[in-house]
Amino acid sequence: MGQYDGKVALITGAGGMKGIGRACALKLAAQGADIVISDFKRPTNDLPPQEIKAQWRSIDSVAEEIEALGRRCLRVWCNLTISSQIEDLAARAASHFGHIDILINNARAIIGRDRVGVTDLSEEVWGQFLRINTTAAFLNIKHVGRIMVEQGNGGRIINIASDASKRAKINTAAYTTSKFALIGLTQASALDLAQHHITVNAVCPGSVNTDRFNYWEADQAQVRNMSLEDFRASVVVDAGKSVPLGRVAEPEDVANVVSFLASAEAGFITGQAYNVNGGTLFH
């Protein structure tokens, strides 16, 4: 018996081989949840080299892992820049399993092209970050929230935010703005949905040891004549040096907090934004 037996969780951006979305999916599935995972089909050039080497197949591979845990899994390809696909994702999840109990807004725009000063930031990149990181989360909350309200059994919504939701870093105007906005969306949705016993919270990781693809890191690796894998590994080691607990987070550190917020025990917590950062930021 697991604490999520009979529950269904929908998770966006869950196809990464070492991503936070996959870690959340496996954590909840291991405790009994059936899972709807979604992602979008990325060109090979936009994939981490580790995934290419491992012949990783995004949500198809994650679905096999979930099914190996004895849980059911629906995989849905959904491009979060297209509103109709977001609405369809919620509808397909509800019609396949009959209900949705947990929503995890985890996807984000592929980072790197945003990493310029605000005067050099293109409106296109700005718009893409707001669209995927903020508007798509709103639309998922809107469509899945309606389904949860109709079900009448409450629900859990968790937005994966960032330390960038609380403090800006240089050359991150689009990412920072999109993630600050996610906290506003979390608080406002928490108030609107409280009467239905649907809680809405955010989790704010600091640096995480994922293989996430980053255009800036790919460029830097080339300039330094290093492989992207080696450069990424050096970024992770360097980031860990400034963390009081001595390392960056693992995806599972984030999934542990997500799992608590999705549980019955977290029923009186809503509108909050929890840090998972090893002590780098306190508010």
Ligand X SMILES: NC(=O)c1ccc[n+]([C@@H]2O[C@H](COP(=O)([O-])OP(=O)(O)OC[C@H]3O[C@@H](n4cnc5c(N)ncnc54)[C@H](O)[C@@H]3O)[C@@H](O)[C@H]2O)c1
Binding site for ligand X (CB under 6 A): 13, 15-16, 19-21, 39-40, 42, 78-81, 106-110, 132, 160, 162, 205, 207-208, 210, 212
Chain residue whose CB lies nearest ligand X: 13
- Find the shortest distance in angstroms from Cβ 253 to ligand X: 11
Whole-number Å distance between alpha carbons of 166 and 173 = 13
- Find the shortest distance in angstroms from Cβ 234 to ligand X: 15
Q: Which is nearer to ligand X, 26 or 78 (CB)?
A: 78
For residue 63, report the phi and psi dihedrals to the nearest 5 degrees: -60, -40
Q: How many residues are recorded in the chain?
A: 283
Q: Which is nearer to ligand X, 19 or 145 (CB)?
A: 19
Is 175 noted as a catalytic residue in this protein?
yes
Q: Which is nearer to ligand X, 44 or 195 (CB)?
A: 44
For residue 156, report the phi and psi dihedrals to the nearest 5 degrees: -135, 125
- Annotated active-site residue in 175, 215, 241, 274: 175
Whole-number Å distance between alpha carbons of 116 and 114 = 6
- Annotated active-site residue in 18, 179, 215, 274: 179
Is 169 noted as a catalytic residue in this protein?
no
Contact in structure between 263 and 276 (CB atoms under 8 Å): no
- Find the shortest distance in angstroms from Cβ 94 to ligand X: 19
DSSP one-letter code for 99: -
Count helices and strands in the chain by DSSP H and E runs: 10, 7
- Find the shortest distance in angstroms from Cβ 16 to ligand X: 4
Whole-number Å distance between alpha carbons of 141 and 122 = 28
Q: Which residues are catalytic?
A: 175, 179
